[in-house]
Structure 1
Amino acid sequence: MAETPAPPADPLAHYPGWARELARRYFTKTINQFVVHGNVRDLVPSQDGRGERAYLPLRQFLADDLFAGRDVVVFYDRSDGIHFQDAESRRDFSRALSGYDTIFGTEYAKKLPKDPARVFALLDNYFRLRLADGKRIACVVDYAETIIPMSEAASYSTEDRGALVTLQKWANDPLLLRADFTLVLVAENLGDLSRPFIQSPYNAELEVGLPALDQRQAFVSWFLSADGARARYDTLSDVPDLALAQNTAGLGYVQLRSILADVLENGRRLTFETLSEKKKELIEAEAYGLLEFVETDYTLDMVAGHAEAKDHLRAAAEAIKTGRPDVMPMGYLVSGPVGTGKTFLVTTFAGEIGIPMVKLKNFRSQWQGVTEGNLEKILTLLRAMNPVAVMIDEADAALGDRSSQGDSGVSSRVFGQIAQAMSDTRYRGRIIWFLVTARPDLMPVDLKRQGRAEEHIGLFYPSTREDREELLQVMMRKTGVDLPLDDVPEALLDGERTYSGADMEALLTRAKFRAATHALDAPRPAPGGDGAAGGGAVAEGGAVTADVLQAVVDDFVPPSYPLQVELQNLAAVLECTSLSMLPERFRALDREATTRRVAELKGLIGDR
C-alpha cells in the first residue's frame, strides 16, 4: 500500500503567531486592514535568506519578509511622511504625483505633504492607479494613534474625521478588497485608537506579545552564538542561559539585548542581584513609571495579630511555591479600618512568596484616552511577567465602576479593563490581585464577586491584651524603642481606648521626640569639668523611659473619627468571606442589623 505523502511544510511556520494570523485572515479576501498593537517597538523573530534565525525591527520585518512579494510597500507616519521601500517605487510614485499636480493644480512633486488629509488623498489616487495595473501593494501606517486618536465623537477635528472616513472607505472598497492590497496600522496601545474604527468588523486587531520563556531562551542562545560571545559571557556572568531567560519575564528582545550587550561590550559582571535590579528598572520604565516593584525584607512573622489572615496567606504562599496555582483564589479583597496594617500585611506577603509583587501607581491622566492606554500597557506587562502579585491600594478610588459619570466614560472603561483581567482564569495563581481598601462597600460588586476578588480578608484593631502586647512589641522594634512591657502604661495594653498600630507607632515616635528634646535641654558640664559624667546624663536622658512614655500617653489625643471607624469596621465585617477570620466580638453579629447600622452611619456622616 502506498504511503500517504507528508503534508507540505508550512512556509509561515517561522513567523510569529500574529503574522501567521494576518496571513490567514488576508487570504480570506474579506479583510484588508489590520491593526498591529502591543510590543511593536521590539524585534521580530524571523529567518534570513539562508534560513538561519534572525531578529528584525517590525518595519524591516514587514517590508523584507511578510510583504517581500509585493510590488509596492509604502510607509507613512506624521513625522517622516511618505516613504517607499525601494527606489523604483519612489520614482513611480513621483511620476504619478506629477500627473496629480497637473490635474489638480497642486505642487506636491516639489514638497510632499505630511498631514493625513492630503497624504491619504495622494495615496488613494496612487493605489487605484497601480491596482488597476495589477500591482500588489502594502501600506504601513505607523504611530496610528496620531492619525485616528481615541476621542469622543464630538471632539473629533475635521482632520481626524477625514482620516477616519478614508480608512473606513478603504476597508469596504470592492476594488481594494478584490485586489492584492493590505493596510497595516501600527500602535502600541489599542485603547489609543478611535473606538469606531476598532469596533468596526472590517478590520482585525493583532497583538504582538512579549516573548515567552522558550522565545527568550532562543534569543539568548542566538545572541551568544556570535564569534567569541559565548566564552566572554561565561567568563563575566554568574547567570546561566536558562536562568537568564527564566528571570526576565516581562522583558522584550531589545531589553534582553541591552542586558547581554552590557556584559559583552562593557565588561560588566552579571549576577542574579544585578539582573534583578536591571529587570525592575527596565519594566518600570516600560510601564511609564506606573508600576512599582514592592521590595521588602519583611515577612508575615513581622505582622502583629491577625493570626487567621496570616495563616491563610502562609498557606497561599506555600501553594505558590509548590506549583499549585490551581488552588489559589483569583484575587483578594483586604479591608478594615484605617491603621490596621492592610498595606503592610500585603507587603509582607511579598516577602513570603518568592515571586515579584508590583504596586499600581496612579495610571489616570487628564488627557483623553491616555488612562486606558496606560492601563492596557500595564496589563500586557503583567500577563508577560506572570507569576506576579499585584497590589492596588485605595482600590475603591482607583478602579472606578460601570456607572461613573462626568469623566466621558473613562472610569467605566477602566473598570471594564480591570474586571476582564481579574476574571481571566488562564492566570489563576499566576496574577494574584490584592485590592486594599478601608471602604469595601464603595467598591462595585462586580470586582468583589467570586471569580475576581474571591477571598475577602478583614483586619481589625487588637481587642485582647495579648494582641495589644504583640502589636506594641512589633512597633517598638520598628521604632527602636527598648522598654520592658512591665514599664508600659496600662492604658496602652488594657484600657478602654483602642489603639491601632498607627496610633502606637505615633505614640512611640512622640516619646522618642520628647526624650530627645529633653536631653538637648539638659544642662551641659562646664568646660574642663567631668565630660564623661555630662555625656552619660545626655545619653540617658535621650532614651525613652517609663515616665516619658506615660507622659506621652497621658497627653496623646488620637484623631477621633468614631463614626467613620465604626462604619469601616462594620463594612469589613460584612465583606469578610471567612467566619474564622472575624474576631469573636463580630462573629455573632446579626447581618441584617449590621446592614441597617451601616446605612445609618452613612446617613450620619453624609456618605453615599
Structure 2
Amino acid sequence: MADTQTADPLAHYPEWARNLARRYFTKTINQFVLHGNVRDLVRTIDEKDQTAYVPLRQFLSEDLFAGRDVVLFYDRSHGIHFADPASRADFNRALSGYDTIFGTEYAKKMPKDPARVFALLDNYIRLRLADGKRIAVVVDYAETIIPMTEAASYSAEDRTALVYLQKWSHDPILLEADFSLVLITENLTDLNRQFIQSPYNAELEITLPDADQRSSFLDSFLGTGGRRQRYEALSDVPPVALSQNTAGLGYVQLRTILADVIENERRMTFEALSEKKKELIEAEAYGLLEFVETDYTLKMVAGHSEAKAHLRAAADAIRKGRPDVMPMGYLVSGPVGTGKTFLITTFAGEIGIPMVKLKNFRSQWQGVTEGNLEKILTLLRAMNPVAVMIDEADAALGDRSASGDSGVSSRVFGQIAQAMSDTRFRGKIIWFLVTARPDLMPVDLKRQGRAEEHIGLFYPSTREDRVELLEVMMKKTGVRVALSDVPDALLDGERTYSGADMEALLTRAKFRATTDLAEFLAADNGDAAAATPAAEASGAEPTDNAAPGGDGAAPEAAPAEPAPKKPSPAEAEEGTVSGEVLAAVVEDFVPPTYPLQVELQNLVAVMECTSRSMLPERFRGLDREATVRRIEELKRLIGER
C-alpha cells in the first residue's frame, strides 16, 4: 500500500510532460513552449492501461489536460477549435455576449488573425476563470503568430500578439487560476527572441526517441500476433536490430518502415534499411544534410602518414566504444588540392558510424537560417554516434562579430559553438571543420574544447610520397602506366604536384591516348578506302608485273616505313597510357598557379597544427615569429587586410 501511495502519477509520461507538470504546479509559470519533435507520436497509457502512441494534440487534450473544463486550440489555418462539443457550445454562448457588447458579428464568422482572436480569448478566459473553470489553450505553429524578426520590422499584428502573450504570462489572476497556455513550434529559433528570452515562460524540448524508446514502440506496434509473424517472415532485420539501427528517426518514421514491410510486402534487408534511414533523415532535415557514402578507406590516401595514423587510431577507439578519449572535433587545413575533403571522406569508410555533410543551410529569409540549423543540430544529437563534416568552414560558420546580415552570422556562430562544446556528446558527435584558410576562422571555434585536434595536410615533397600519390591516382582514374615509363619531371622535378594536379594529368593522358588512337584508326581506314577507288578509276586490269615500259618488268618497290605502334582498342578502353603520351602531357601541362596564395595557405596550416609530429620535416624547424611576419607580408601582397 505504501508503494502505491508513493508511486509517481506522472511516471508514464515522457520527460518533457513531467517537466511541464512540475513547473505548472509551482504556480509561477503558465506558458510553455514545446519545440523539437512536435510532429511525432507521444507515448501514453490508454483507458485499458495499455501502452499507446498518439499525436501530440490528442495527448494534450485527452491526457495531460484531461482534467480541464475547457481545452481549445488555435492556429492561423483553422482559427479557434475545441477538444469537445461542450466546450464549443460554451464558447459560442460567450461569443454571442461579446458581439452584443462590442458590436461585432463574430458568431457569424469567427476571426482567424491573431490580434482579434487573442482579444476574444482574453475576454473568454477571464470570464470563465471567474466562474472557477479550468482552461488550457494550445497555440500551434506559433512561429506564424510571433515570428522571429527584428524589432524594427514588427507589424502591428505581431506587436499585438506579443503583448497579449507577455501580459498573460505574468498576470497574477491567470497565475493563481487553473490556466495553461502551450505554444508549439518545431524550431525555437523561429520564435520572437523577446518572447523566448522572457523569464515568464518555459521552453521544453521534445526529443527524438532513443534506442530503448524505439524498442518499446516496435514491441507495441508489432504485438505478439500476426503482425509480428508477418514482419519476421518478410524481414532480415530483427526488431532489436531495427531499434538499434534507426537513430535519428521518430515513431512516425518507424511506423512507415514497418508498414512498408507488412502492408506492401517489401522485404527488409540491412542494406534496404540503411537506404531508407538515409532517405528519411535527409527529408526530415529539408535536404540540408547529406550522408557521406564512399567505397574508399584511408588506404586510398597517399602520403599524410602521420594524419592517417592518428585517424586510424581514432577509428579504432570509436569501434571499441571509447568516446571519452576522442577530441570534440578536428580542424583540417592545408593548401588547395591536398585532399582534405577526400581524407575525411575516406575516414567515413573506417569508422563504422554514419558521416554527414552539412549543405548550405543559409537562407535569404529572416529567421530561416537559424531554424534550419536548429533542425540539423536536433537531428545530429538524436543520431549519435555520428561524424559531421563542414567543408569551407571559414565561409560557412560566420563569427561572433559578423555584421551586415541583421546578426544572422553571429547567431549561427553561437549555435554551432554551443553544439561543438557540449561535452555530453564527446566522441558521439565528431566535428570535422575543413578549410584552406584556418586563419579566417574565429578563435572560439578552433580552441580546445571544440575543434581540439588541428591536422595540416601538405603537398608531397619526396619521391616516395609522389610515387605513392601517383599510384593512388592511377587507381582512382583507371589509368595504367608503368612506373618505369613515368617521366622524372613528375616524380623528381622542382615543380610540386598536388593530388588534384596528378588526377588532372592522368585524366588528360587517358584522353590523349584515346583520341590519338581514334585519329590513327580513322586515318588508317581512310587510306585503305582511298586505294580501291583509284585503281578502279584507271580502268586497268590488276596485274602483278605492270610496268610503264610495257615489258612487264615491275619497278623496284621502295622499302615500306614501319607502322607506328598503337595500343589496341581494348588497351585504350582499359586506360593503358604509354610513357611517351604521359611525358608529352606533363610537358604541356600548365597548372593554374597562385604561388603567394599557396604559400600563405601552407604557412597558416603550419601555424594551426597542434601536433609537431604531424608536420612534414621541412616545416618542423620553422621559426614561428618569422613565419607570422611572412604570413602578414603575404596577406598584404595579395591585398588582404
TM superposition score normalised by structure 1: 0.97
Q: Closer, same or farther in 2 for the Cα pair 1:239/1:589, shift >3 Å?
A: same
Do the aligned partners of 1:331 and 1:434 also contact (CA within 8 Å) in 2?
A: yes
Say if 1:524 and 1:534, in contact at 8 Å, map to a contact too.
no
Structure 2, unpaired ranges of 5+: 533-563
Q: Which amino acid is 2:621 matched to?
A: A
Aligned residue for 1:113, secondary structure, equals: coil
The residue aligned with 2:329 is 331
> CA–CA distance in 2 between the matches of 1:247 and 1:19?
27
Give SS of 2:282's match.
helix
User: Residue 534 of structure 1: CA displacement?
Assistant: 11
Matched, 1:583 2:616: yes
Query: Is the alpha carbon distance of 1:449 and 1:553 closer, same or farther for their aligned partners in structure 2, counting shifts above 3 Å?
Result: same
Q: Check 1:46–1:527 CA distance in 2 against 1; reply closer, same or farther (3 A cut).
A: farther
The equivalent of 1:82 in structure 2 is: 80
Match of 2:6, SS state, is coil
Contact 2:386-2:428 at 8 Å conserved across structures: yes
Give the Cα–Cα distance (whole angstroms) in 1 for the partners of residues 92 and 607 of structure 2.
72
User: Residues 21-60 of structure 1: matches in 2 within 5 Å?
Assistant: 21-60=19-58
Q: C-alpha deviations, 1:158-201, integer Å up to 9, x for none?
A: 10111001100010111111110000000000000000000000
Partner residue of 2:461 out of 444, 460, 463: 463
C-alpha distance in 1, partners of 2:530/2:233?
A: 62
Instruction: Note closer, same or farther for the CA distance 1:312–1:540 as it changes in structure 2 (3 Å cut).
Output: closer
Aligned to 2:68: 70
Distance 1:156 1:510, change over 3 A: same
Residues 103-134 of structure 1, C-alpha deviations (whole Å, 9 max, x = no match): 11111000101000011011111101100000
Partner of 1:597: 630
Cα distance, 1:524 vs structure 2: 3.8
Q: Does 1:191 align with 2:224?
A: no
Distance 1:551 1:354 in 2: 43
Q: Which residue of 1 aligns with 2:598?
A: 565
Distance in 2 (alpha carbons) for counterparts of 1:225 and 1:4: 33
1:298 alignment counterpart:
296
Query: Aligned equivalents of 1:529 and 1:478: distance in 2?
Result: 44
Aligned equivalent of 1:124: 122
Partner of 1:103: 101
Aligned 8 A contact 2:517 2:567 in 1? no
Note the C-alpha offset of 1:518. 1.6
CA distance in 2, matches of 1:589, 1:465: 22
Q: What is the letter of the counterpart of residue 492 of structure 1? A: L
2:136 and 2:360 map into 1 onto residues whose CA distance is: 40
CA deviation vs aligned residue, 1:318-340 (integer Å, no higher than 9, x gap): 00001111100000000000000
Q: How far, CA to CA, are the matches of 2:571 and 2:335 in structure 1?
A: 38
- The answer for the alignment partner of 1:139 in structure 2 is 137
**Residue type at the aligned position of 2:584:** A
- In structure 2, relative to structure 1, the CA distance for the partners of 1:58 and 1:449 (3 Å cut) is same
Does 2:547 correspond to 1:549?
A: no
Deviations, residues 220-248 of structure 1 (Å, cap 9, x unaligned): 01000164111101100111111000000
- 1:39 and 1:548 map into 2 onto residues whose CA distance is 60
Matches of 2:224 and 2:290 in 1, distance apart?
35
2:286 is aligned with 1:288: yes
Residue 415 of structure 2 is aligned to residue 424 of structure 1: no
Letter paired with 2:629: R
Which residue of structure 1 lines up, in the alignment, with residue 264 of structure 2? 266
Aligned partners of 1:390 and 1:434 also within 8 Å: yes
Contact 1:330 1:423 (8 Å CA) reproduced: yes
**Which of 18, 21, 25 is equivalent to 1:20?**
18
C-alpha displacement of 1:519: 1.8
In structure 2, C-alpha distance between the alignment counterparts of 1:101 and 1:326, rounded to whole Å: 65
Which AA in structure 2 matches 1:590?
Answer: D
After alignment, is 191-200 or 469-478 more displaced?
469-478
Q: CA offset at residue 5 of structure 1?
A: 6.6
Larger radius of gyration: 2
- Contact map agreement 2:332 2:434 (CA 8 A) in 1: yes
Distance 2:325 2:531 in 1: 71
1:253 and 2:286 aligned: no
Alpha-carbon distance, 1:594 to partner: 0.3
Q: For residue 478 of structure 2, what is the aligned residue in structure 1?
A: 480
Whether the 8 Å contact between 1:472 and 1:504 is mirrored in structure 2 is yes
1:155 to 153, 156, 159: 153
Contact 1:518 1:541 in 2 (8 A): no
SS of the aligned residue for 2:402 comes to coil
| Conserved? CA contact 2:517–2:566, under 8 Å | no
Please, which moves more after superposition, 473-482 or 52-61? 473-482
d(CA) in 1 for partners of 2:568, 2:33:
75
**Aligned equivalents of 1:340 and 1:493: distance in 2?**
16
Q: Is the 8 A contact 1:519 1:539 kept in 2?
A: no
CA distance in 1 between partners of 2:149 and 2:604 (Å):
38
Aligned counterparts of 1:149 and 1:370: Cα–Cα separation in 2: 10
Is the Cα–Cα contact under 8 Å of residues 291 and 358 in structure 1 kept in the other structure? yes
Q: How far off its partner does 1:528 sit?
A: 12
- Conserved in 1, the CA contact under 8 Å of 2:70 and 2:135? yes
The answer to whether the 8 A contact 2:390-2:432 is kept is yes
**Could you give the per-residue CA deviations for residues 59-101 of structure 1, whole angstroms, max 9, x where no partner exists?**
0000000000000000000000000111111111111111111
Q: CA distance change for structure 1 residues 32 and 447 in 2, over 3 Å: closer, same or farther? A: same
TM-score (norm 2): 0.92
Secondary structure, counterpart of 1:606 in structure 2: coil
Unpaired runs of 5+ residues, structure 1, are none
2:8 aligns to what?
Answer: 10
Q: Which residues of 2 match residues 233-244 of structure 1 at below 5 A?
A: 233-244=231-242
Aligned to 2:537: none
> CA 1:517 to 1:97, structure 2 compared with 1: closer, same or farther past 3 Å?
same
Task: State the one-letter code of the partner of 1:48.
Answer: D
Distance 1:596 1:85, change over 3 A: same
Q: Please show how residues 332-411 of structure 1 align to structure 2 within 5 Å.
A: 332-411=330-409
Equivalent pair of 1:302/1:474 in contact (CA under 8 Å) = yes
Measure the CA separation in 2 of the matches of 1:231 and 1:493.
63
The CA distance in 1 between the partners of 2:155 and 2:204, in whole Å, is 27
Number of residue pairs matched by the alignment: 604
Task: After TM superposition, give the deviation of residue 40 of structure 1 in Å.
Answer: 0.1
Secondary structure class of the residue paired with 1:384: helix
SS at match of 1:102: helix
Deviation per CA, 1:508-567: give whole Å up to 9, x if none: 11111112222221214346999xx99975556774211111111111111010000000
Counterpart amino acid of residue 340 in structure 1:
T
Give, in whole Å, the separation in 1 of the partners of 2:529 and 2:478: 33
CA shift digits 1:294-331 (9 cap, x unpaired): 00110000000000000000000000001111100000
Q: 1:521 to 1:590 in 2, by over 3 A?
A: same
Equivalent pair of 2:278/2:291 in contact (CA under 8 Å):
yes
Contact 1:140 1:183 in 2 (8 A): yes
In the alignment, which of 450, 453, 467 is matched to residue 452 of structure 1? 450
Alpha-carbon distance in 2 for matches of 1:535, 1:495: 29
Q: Give the letter aligned to residue 593 of structure 1.
A: A
1:397-449 deviation digits (Å, cap 9, x = unpaired): 00000000101111111111101111111111110000000000000001000
Partner Cα separation in structure 2 for residue 244 and residue 529 of structure 1: 72
Matched letter for residue 552 of structure 1 = V
